[in-house]
Structure 1
Amino acid sequence: MTSQISTGWPDLSVKGGLLRQEYVVALGLTCCVPILRYVLHGAVFQPAARRILKTDAFTKAGSVPIKLLRLVDKVCESLWKLTVYATLLALGLYALHDQPYLTDSTEFWTGWPSQNIPAKVKLYYAVEGAFYTASVFMLLFWEERRKDFHAMLLHHVATSSLIAVSYFFSYARVGSIVMLLHDPSDVFLEGAKICNYADWDIPATSLFAALLVSWLILRLVLLPFWVVRSCLFGVQDVLGYLPRYNTLMSAVLCLLIVLHIYWFSMIARIAWDKVTTGSASDTREDED
């Protein structure tokens, strides 16, 4: 205990080799993500997008309107993200449903830094890290740039960095909860966007309402007042000291919260337009 109080640093001498292996696995998964997306884009998402939009323009002779091509690409992008986020949510619930720290924040720190991380939680970490790391490059070189491009890029960089660093410094319990709090809202968001593209008004409105509520509760209440509060204050109650670089981890989480407030203001604006005018459009869809 004395050495922990003086350093606040997890002992990596024993698990250093294992850490390297796990990061290599995560890097391999990162390289597979764009390949998987490319295969699904042509084999699954494009045909599905054309059916969702109910257009036969691709089967008729002549050129396809540019506007329609862009709309198909947007639906394909949302289908990809919906597939990924739904998979991550299912994997997260499977990995964390029986972990005591899912409901008790003091368990974030019990036994730190030598905490046992189950294999299923390690898998959840690796898949989440691979997706967000690959998303940085896909955002730069693949996806259409929208008005919040720089905020989204900052979000992906901060998230992938937080995943990698939190695992390295034995913050996997905190990190896995943060990831689980993020996934449901993303599922609702991409589902609402697909319904909006297809002019399915009732499903789009229902999913948008679920997005609004989940974003508020998970990202703007539980994340700051449960997770970040535990990082800033609860950790000292359990361990009796503040781990080294705990402030840095908390700062990155606070950065994510600031970004969530920015996006929530956009969501609230869309909701207000819907209530007051009966119609709403996503300002992110406009190009820079």
Structure 2
Amino acid sequence: MLSSFNEWLWQHRFWLPPNVTWAELEDRDGRVYPHPQDMLAALPLALVLLAMRLAFERFIGLPLSRWLGVRDQTRRQAKPNATLEKHFLTEGHRPKEPQLSLLAARCGLTLRQTQRWFRRRRKQDRPQLTKKFCEASSLPIHSWRFLFYLSSFVGGLSVLYHESWLWAPVMCWENYPNQTLKPSLYWWYLLELAFYLSLLIRLPFDVKRKDFKEQVIHHFVVVILMTFSYSANLLRIGSLVLLLHDSADYLLEACKMVNYTQYQHVCDALFLIFSLVFFYTRLVLFPTQILYTTYYESLGNRGPFFGYYFCNGLLMLLQLLHVFWSCLILRMLCSFIKKGQMEKDIRSDVEESDSSEEEEEAGAQEPLQLKNGAARGPRPAPTDGLRSRVAGRLTRHTTAT
């Protein structure tokens, strides 16, 4: 049954242009072509990259984060409470006020104490700054992802620099699909696919942000596109897509990493550079060069086929994700222009400050009654200064895009 499905799936009429068969892409006379089974090597390579990443985070990333002054906030632990813990794990992390009142009565606590318990319990599950930093740290300042993306970008540029299709994407379709496979292009492609597979494997364990679903979609689309483009010998256009993405990704990781340190001006400058590169590559070059050539110039004298629609559909999905992330970056840029400094990552969950608990406790104090009937409470604090200090603390302890 599996053999029949495999034979049906890889029919040449699905993946290759009309009147072209897989037999034409068999190795012969010293000419080597890509074959779908070659991509299986990416699976063990992905596991190797995962092992390298774990060792890197433990022995390099964590000590480096300490050296650069990244410190975890001291978190007050929630007192053990079986009833509240069961509700937290099964019913939800943020119960409504009626549920809080019911739980408070059941546990013999006040409403405020119950609210405080859930707040501290939520904070316990949030990753500390050093964990976030270890996702983006390397010797001496670089991050794991920064190191890979930068190496991949430089390596890809060296592989493609002398190729005609880098400067004229229409050359991607010259003599297609009878284009031989170069060893350097194969290894670069294989390493990129293995890296994205490792990202997919690690996604459930990494820091989850508000665009988690979009990240999952993006990684799946990239893996499918790379596998399809290699199998259908669309390596030329696939290599351009990879290089275009890597050109901005390493700047993003550098910006993330510096944001965890005290070098705010460096972070601001890196974010502005990243934004310019991202907008130019994803909103200008990608649609005008990549999408245009795959939609119009790829056909040549041939008619459309399933692989043509499949490839363009996935590329359009990538472009929609580019637009989504561009909107997030624009929001941060507008905030930067108004306030003069980078704010927190709009994709991240803000750390709930313990100062809010202190304010609630202060507000809950009963006023003292004077002889003339006036109420006297604690002297009010200068709220503007408090807000500015809290805002500054949040800015320093949250992650950049």
TM over 0.5: yes
Give the 5 Å matches for 1:13-28: 14-15=26-27, 19=35, 22-28=38-44
TM-score norm. by structure 1 comes to 0.88
Following superposition, the deviation at residue 21 of structure 1 comes to: 5.3
Answer 1 or 2: higher relative contact order, Cα 8 Å, separation at least 6.
Answer: 1
Give the 5 Å matches for 1:211-230: 211-230=274-293
Please state if 1:257 is matched with 2:319.
yes
Following superposition, the deviation at residue 12 of structure 1 comes to: 6.5
Q: C-alpha distance in 1, partners of 2:321/2:44?
A: 29
Among candidates 157, 167, 188, match of residue 103 of structure 1: 167
Give the 5 Å matches for 1:118-137: 118-137=182-201
Contact 1:33 1:131 in 2 (8 A): yes
Please state if 1:51 is matched with 2:114.
no
CA RMSD of aligned residues (A): 2.7
Match of 2:385 in 1: none
Match of 2:237 in 1: 174
Which moves more between the two structures, 271-280 or 94-103?
271-280
* 2:212 maps to amino acid: F
Contact 2:18 2:305 in 1 (8 A): no
Q: C-alpha distance in 1, partners of 2:316/2:34?
A: 30
TM-score norm. by structure 2 comes to 0.64
Contact 1:11 1:113 in 2 (8 A): no
Match of 2:157 in 1: 93
Contact 2:34 2:233 in 1 (8 A): no
1:236 match: secondary structure = coil
User: Structure 1's 208 and 11: CA in aligned 2 closer, same or farther, altered over 3 A?
Assistant: farther
User: Structure 1's 18 and 223: CA in aligned 2 closer, same or farther, altered over 3 A?
Assistant: closer
* 1:38 maps to amino acid: L
* 1:52 maps to amino acid: L
Q: C-alpha distance in 1, partners of 2:203/2:24?
A: 34
User: Structure 1's 251 and 38: CA in aligned 2 closer, same or farther, altered over 3 A?
Assistant: same
Q: Deviations over 1:25-47 (max 9, x none)?
A: 22221121111101111111111
Following superposition, the deviation at residue 276 of structure 1 comes to: 0.5
Q: Deviations over 1:98-146 (max 9, x none)?
A: 1110011121101111102211111111011011111111112x20111
Contact 2:65 2:133 in 1 (8 A): yes
User: Structure 1's 105 and 27: CA in aligned 2 closer, same or farther, altered over 3 A?
Assistant: same
Q: C-alpha distance in 2, partners of 1:75/1:182?
A: 22
Match of 2:55 in 1: 39
Structure with max Cα Rg: 2
Match of 1:246 in 2: 308
Which moves more between the two structures, 45-54 or 122-131?
45-54
Q: C-alpha distance in 2, partners of 1:11/1:218?
A: 37
Q: C-alpha distance in 2, partners of 1:251/1:188?
A: 28
Please state if 1:144 is matched with 2:160.
no
Q: Which runs of 5+ in 2 are unaligned?
A: 1-12, 74-122, 137-142, 351-401
**Identity rate of aligned residues, in percent?**
25
Contact 1:92 1:180 in 2 (8 A): yes
User: Structure 1's 7 and 166: CA in aligned 2 closer, same or farther, altered over 3 A?
Assistant: same
2:207 match: secondary structure = coil
Q: Deviations over 1:63-93 (max 9, x none)?
A: xx97997111111112221111111111111
Match of 1:61 in 2: none
Contact 2:36 2:231 in 1 (8 A): no
Q: Which runs of 5+ in 1 are unaligned?
A: 58-64
Q: C-alpha distance in 1, partners of 2:289/2:33?
A: 33
Match of 1:202 in 2: 265
Q: Deviations over 1:247-284 (max 9, x none)?
A: 11011011011001100110110111011123411111
Q: C-alpha distance in 1, partners of 2:33/2:296?
A: 32
Contact 1:192 1:208 in 2 (8 A): yes
Contact 1:10 1:113 in 2 (8 A): no
Please state if 1:155 is matched with 2:225.
no
Q: After the TM superposition, which segments of 4 or more aligned residues of structure 1 sit over 4 Å from their partners?
A: 8-13, 15-18, 54-57, 65-69
Match of 1:278 in 2: 340
Following superposition, the deviation at residue 7 of structure 1 comes to: 3.7
Following superposition, the deviation at residue 200 of structure 1 comes to: 1.1
Q: C-alpha distance in 2, partners of 1:18/1:48?
A: 41
Contact 2:150 2:250 in 1 (8 A): yes
